[in-house]
């Protein structure tokens, strides 16, 4: 054993490697992305023994992993919580069919949310799918649980969910890790058995009954596992708390803070730690309920533990009051914090409230508002501005359907070019519904290159098949930028370090039946705007591909300079494109050379040619 300082995602990836994982696939999404990337880095030292891939989407990843598991291989699938929606179709069926090799889905939840559309709870999804879920409370436990999840998966022939939340994924800790031993497991390979591997209604009926029996048995089995346990803090009559995930650690910290306050040294706590919220460790929880007349549940997102405890009280006629989110003792949305839990514990214990802010914190200045913006030099800024300029010159009305990615930030002023955003790929299809409702308006659908491959293609085919009047704007910056610049099918690079053929977006569109496809550089404003005006003159599905690499993938050019002798202080360079590298100072407009990438977009906006650039980016 040795100690390593690891991010939670690194601990999960390393734990999978130490569990003998054979295949790792997934789709990038914050906060899960670094799990797969960690395995890929380790894989470089293992002569690429593990097959690692970024799949085109989460559904594809689960299906690839399922194939490997049916042949007896161990597979890890990574995604964020909204990706589980995309993966639901194969996962629900796979829960019925079962697996042979261990299969773990690391699905990172995002309370807050910090970088997601929803606050959905994977623990609830586990109950819906009828498969086990492990909820780690720290990076150290995440390392242990991913290995346990593989063992558990093979023992019970089921996919298993691992549910780290953002603070587990991105938190760091000193983790005890085992020395890696490359042990070859016997591989039987795929054995044909249509009665088992081919899903039919009768098979599903029989498997459903089997799954219900298994999960009922697991309630007792999981009650005896050490990761579900009752923890005591202090001596004496305890305050009873049930918690899981990162909230368990918050409760431990809040309990110690409360006990450290003057006069509270005799206060003690008994904490029911729930690591497997489904199947619920019912026997252990029942024992806890019967000891305590009043229990506070602390958890993030859905009241999963709270509902389970209330159910047990009703089932076994236990006279215990369970409080938590449902009763309003804790917020029903957002992340938990230690201070919030401390306040709830104080109220639950009947202790006097304390002022929320200390004198010291009251003296601190307010933090400046820093809304997210497109990076200086981001080609998406040019793409949005070109479309906006073209539509204005045509004197037309337009609706702009957006999508998930960096370019969602095109909604911010002064661009104000994203009217809708729902989920990945929805920009293309929502624009179709809007066009049916308002046929006299121009309808644009913005989508990034990675999102196009992940979920945009079916929408384009749907628009072609149903003869929709739609302008598709594909923002091709040659990477999956928002989640950390991962490769995708259009980049020609795989996570195994192999060079593959780049999938051409133009050829895909033309093969599907899009007759008018124009490729333009969004940083050349006039050329880009003219391309948009050209497709606006047509009908049916037509497309403009704005191609320019993400500024993080290239070497910037010399920063722009503003000639103060020519500048008329009109501020159009600020009010038209909103580049964060250009600011208005008293008596002058200036460029921040530490931010400017020399993209040249501002030179096409200045009406008097006062902005000069030093050359092209490489």
Binding-site residue ranges for [4Fe-4S] cluster: 567, 570, 573, 579, 596, 599, 602, 606
User: In 3D, which of 214, 212, 231, 218 has the Cα closest to residue 281?
Assistant: 218
Question: What is the C-alpha to C-alpha distance for residues 16 and 10, in angstroms, rounded to an integer?
Answer: 10
* Cα–Cα separations (whole angstroms), residue 309 to 26, 221, 272, 284: 34, 18, 11, 11
Other Cβ atoms within 10 Å of 12 Cβ, number:
33
With contact defined as beta carbons under 8 Å apart, do 285 and 309 qualify? yes
Question: Is residue 222 within 8 Å of residue 252, measured between CB atoms?
Answer: no
Question: H/E element holding 54?
Answer: strand 51-54
Q: Is the separation of the CB atoms in 58 and 32 below 8 Å? A: no
For residue 124, say if its preceding peptide bond is cis, omega within 30 degrees of 0: no
141 Cβ contact partners less than 8 Å away, ≥ 6 residues apart: 227, 275
**What is the Cα–Cα distance from 139 to 245, expressed in whole angstroms?**
11
User: Quick check: 201 and 30 in contact, CB under 8 A?
Assistant: no
Whether the bond between 279 and the residue before it is cis, its omega within 30 degrees of 0, is: yes
The DSSP code sequence of 93-123 is HHHHH--SS-EEEEEEB-SS-SSSS----HH
Ramachandran angles phi, psi of 7, nearest 5°? -70, 150
> Residue positions in the annotated binding site?
567, 570, 573, 579, 596, 599, 602, 606
Q: Is the CB of residue 483 less than 8 Å from the CB of residue 439?
A: no
Handedness of CA 308, 312, 315, 321 (dihedral sign): negative
How would you label 237-248 residue by residue, b for 16+ Cβ within 10 Å and e otherwise? Answer: ebbbbbbbbbbb
Alpha-carbon distance of 495 to 504, in angstroms, equals 19
Nearest-angstrom CA–CA distance, 453 and 505: 9
Q: What are phi and psi of 295, to 5 degrees?
A: -135, 135
3-state secondary structure of 526: helix
CA distance 33 to 36: 6
């Amino acid at each position: 054993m040795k100690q390593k300082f690891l991010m939670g995602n690194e601990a999960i990836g390393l734990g999978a490697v130490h569990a003998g994982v054979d295949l790792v696939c997934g789709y990038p999404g914050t906060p899960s992305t670094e799990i797969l990337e960690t395995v890929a880095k380790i894989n470089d030292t293992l002569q690429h023994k593990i097959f690692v891939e970024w799949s085109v989407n989460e559904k594809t990843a689960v299906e690839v992993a399922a194939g490997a598991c049916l042949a007896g291989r161990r597979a890890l699938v990574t995604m964020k919580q909204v990706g589980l929606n995309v993966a639901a179709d194969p996962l629900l069926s796979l829960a019925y069919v079962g697996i042979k090799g261990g299969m773990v889905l690391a699905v990172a939840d995002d309370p807050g949310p910090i970088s997601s559309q929803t606050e959905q709870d994977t623990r609830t999804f586990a109950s819906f799918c009828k498969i086990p879920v492990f909820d780690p409370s720290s990076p150290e436990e995440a390392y242990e649980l991913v290995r346990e999840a593989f063992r558990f998966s093979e023992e019970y022939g089921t996919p298993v969910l691992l549910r780290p939340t953002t603070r587990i994924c991105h938190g760091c800790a000193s983790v005890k890790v085992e020395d890696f031993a490359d042990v070859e497991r016997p591989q039987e390979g795929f054995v044909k058995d249509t009665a088992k591997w081919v899903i039919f209604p009768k098979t599903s009926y029989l498997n459903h009954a089997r799954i219900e029996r298994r999960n009922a048995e697991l309630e007792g089995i999981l009650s005896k596992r050490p990761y579900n346990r009752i923890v005591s803090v202090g001596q004496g009559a305890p305050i009873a708390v049930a918690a899981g995930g990162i909230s368990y650690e918050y409760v431990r910290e809040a309990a110690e803070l409360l006990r450290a306050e003057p006069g509270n040294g005799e206060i003690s706590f008994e904490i029911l730690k729930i690591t497997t919220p489904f199947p619920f460790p019912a026997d252990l929880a029942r024992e806890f309920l019967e000891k305590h007349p009043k229990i506070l549940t602390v958890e993030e997102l859905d009241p999963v533990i709270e509902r389970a405890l209330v159910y047990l009280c009703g089932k076994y006629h236990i006279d215990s009051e369970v409080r938590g989110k449902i009763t309003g003792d804790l917020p029903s949305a957002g992340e938990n914090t230690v201070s919030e839990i401390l306040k709830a514990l104080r109220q639950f214990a009947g202790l006097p409230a304390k002022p929320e802010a200390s004198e010291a914190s009251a003296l601190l200045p307010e933090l400046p508002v820093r809304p997210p913006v497109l990076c200086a030099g981001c080609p998406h800024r040019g793409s949005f501005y070109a479309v906006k300029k073209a539509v204005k010159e045509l004197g037309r009305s337009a609706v702009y359907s957006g999508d998930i990615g960096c370019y969602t930030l095109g909604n911010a002023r002064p661009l104000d070019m994203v009217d809708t955003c729902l989920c990945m790929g929805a920009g293309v299809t929502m624009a179709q519904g809007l066009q049916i409702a308002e046929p006299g308006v121009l309808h644009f659908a913005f989508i990034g290159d990675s999102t196009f491959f992940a979920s945009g293609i079916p929408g384009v085919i749907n628009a072609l098949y149903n003869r929709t009047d739609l302008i598709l704007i594909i923002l091709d910056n040659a990477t999956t930028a928002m989640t950390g610049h991962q490769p995708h099918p259009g980049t020609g690079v795989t996570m195994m370090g192999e060079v593959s053929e780049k999938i051409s977006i133009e050829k895909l569109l033309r093969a599907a039946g899009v007759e008018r496809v124009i490729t333009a550089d969004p940083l050349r404003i006039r050329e880009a705007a003219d391309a948009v005006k050209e497709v606006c003159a047509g009908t049916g599905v037509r497309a403009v591909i704005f191609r320019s690499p993400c500024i993080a993938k290239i070497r910037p050019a010399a920063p722009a300079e503003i000639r103060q002798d020519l500048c008329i202080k009109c501020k159009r360079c600020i009010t038209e494109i909103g580049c964060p590298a250009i600011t208005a100072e008293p008596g002058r407009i200036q460029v921040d050379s530490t931010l400017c990438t020399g993209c040249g977009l501002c030179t096409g906006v200045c009406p008097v040619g006062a902005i000069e650039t030093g050359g092209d980016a490489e």
